[in-house]
A and B are shown apart, each in its own frame.
Chain A
Amino acid sequence: MSVNLRSAPFTPGARVIGLGSSQPQRVVTNDELAEHIETNDEWIRERVGIISRRIADPDTPLVEFAADAGSKAIADAGLSPSDVDTIIVATCTMPNPIPNAAAQVGHRIGLTAPGAFDMNAACAGFCYALGMASDLVRAGSSEHVLVIGAEKLSHWVDWQDRSTCIIFADGAGAMVVGPATTAEETGIGPLVWGSAGDLYPTIRILDEPGESGKIYQEGQTVFRWATTQIDPIALRAVERAGLALEDIDVFVPHQANLRIVDAVAKRLHREGAREDMRVARDIVHSGNTSSASIPLAIDHMRAAGQISRGDVMLLVGFGAGLSYAGQVVICP
């Protein structure tokens, strides 16, 4: 028998309508790290640009601060939890793979039987998830999607490895994505994404027999990749949104290392970005929080009055996989 299946009605566009973030209370300074390992404040600042970071207590689960960030984003959007039908948690640091974070986080927030799944694209995860959310809304699969980037990297860090323990931190950032009733109201540009799987060993958990079970990074290789391969991806995201680099008000790269942030921003300036383009430097007091770093930076910049409604933001995430993704987003 031949039938005609109905498709969900398309929505003209999607946009970000709410922001939120959450960090553990505990501030860990460089001096505190220097009490346990051979390092010092000056070396850390020069090497990665971090002054302090937030680290969760061992007993505090990732889903706790993920839910806090998500609740704030829903309130910021002027919605109630029952309005949100889908939740995506971008994370790569759950202590084990079953169950996922998203269903628990949705439950903690009080969502009503949402579609709930985790997305692991490491530090590119938030941009991947935001792209999924936008497409789900546009395709009519979801009406309001809560997108959360949440990481508890402290669980996976070797606190004796001074090349990684000075960088990584904990936190969560969230956005609510909803429909745009006209194409002109669209607030999320096309996703530009990809991966370089040949470089997979450069950031990984050391899980071979006899290894520590902790995170490892080939700093130089990753640095070279990020400082030479990310600006073309950012540029493509701008072009696919139908804009030029000079239209960008705010550049929010994944907060991997301040040296990477500055190097990529410098290249974008050389390629036509405005001198007054603001650049997220949230890593200085938040550390590298992987998938949480982009929404954390945006929420902090808004709270500090550095960005405002309508600003054109260029987001680009990159990290383990290696994976990368970027898009242009209008600040809600």
Chain B
Amino acid sequence: MTEEEILESLADIVEEIAGVDANEVTSEKSFVDDLDIDSLSMVEIAVQAEDKFGVKIPDDQLAGLKTVGDAVGYISSNISDR
């Protein structure tokens, strides 16, 4: 799965959980500051992403994923590690 494909799927998840237009979900955006997503929605996004991509995103790792690009990078590297 390419990073572009991960971004596209992740954007759909963000749209479903937080009601943010998927087109707004781009790499440089901060989940909290730009997309106005709170910590509980981040957990819901993480849980859905875990199911979708078959990766583990524990809460301590989740806290470090500030931007959409951070999340895409984390998912990408954990998929390829398997």
B31-53: which have CB < 8 Å to A?
38-40, 42-44, 46-47
In this complex, the interface size class of chain A, counting residues with CB under 8 Å from chain B, is 10 to 19
Partner-contacting stretch, out of A25-33, A52-60, A222-230 = A222-230
Q: Is the CB of B47 within 8 A of A227?
A: yes
Say whether, besides A220-B59, A221-B59, A227 and B43 are in contact (CB < 8 Å): yes
The residues of B that contact A240 with a CB separation of less than 8 Å are: none
Shortest distance from the beta carbon of A286 to any chain B beta carbon, whole Å: 20
The residues of B that contact A220 with a CB separation of less than 8 Å are: 39-40, 42-43, 59, 62
Q: Is the CB of B47 within 8 A of A219?
A: no
Give the distance in Å from the alpha carbon of A46 to the alpha carbon of B38 in the complex.
9
Q: Is the CB of B38 within 8 A of A224?
A: no
Q: Is the CB of B47 within 8 A of A224?
A: yes
Say whether, besides A220-B59, A221-B59, A228 and B47 are in contact (CB < 8 Å): yes
Shortest distance from the beta carbon of A227 to any chain B beta carbon, whole Å: 7
Contact of B44 among A47, A221, A263 (CB under 8 A): A263
A182-234: which have CB < 8 Å to B?
219-221, 223-224, 227-228
Determine whether A300 belongs to the interface, using a CB cutoff of 8 Å to chain B. Answer: no
Determine whether A162 belongs to the interface, using a CB cutoff of 8 Å to chain B. Answer: no
Shortest distance from the beta carbon of B59 to any chain A beta carbon, whole Å: 5
For the complex of A and B, list the 4 residue pairs with the smallest distance between their C-beta atoms, beginning with the closest. A224-B43, A220-B59, A223-B43, A223-B40
Which residues in A have some Cβ–Cβ distance to B below 8 Å?
Answer: 46-47, 219-221, 223-224, 227-228, 257, 259, 263
Which residues in B have some Cβ–Cβ distance to A below 8 Å?
Answer: 38-40, 42-44, 46-47, 59, 62
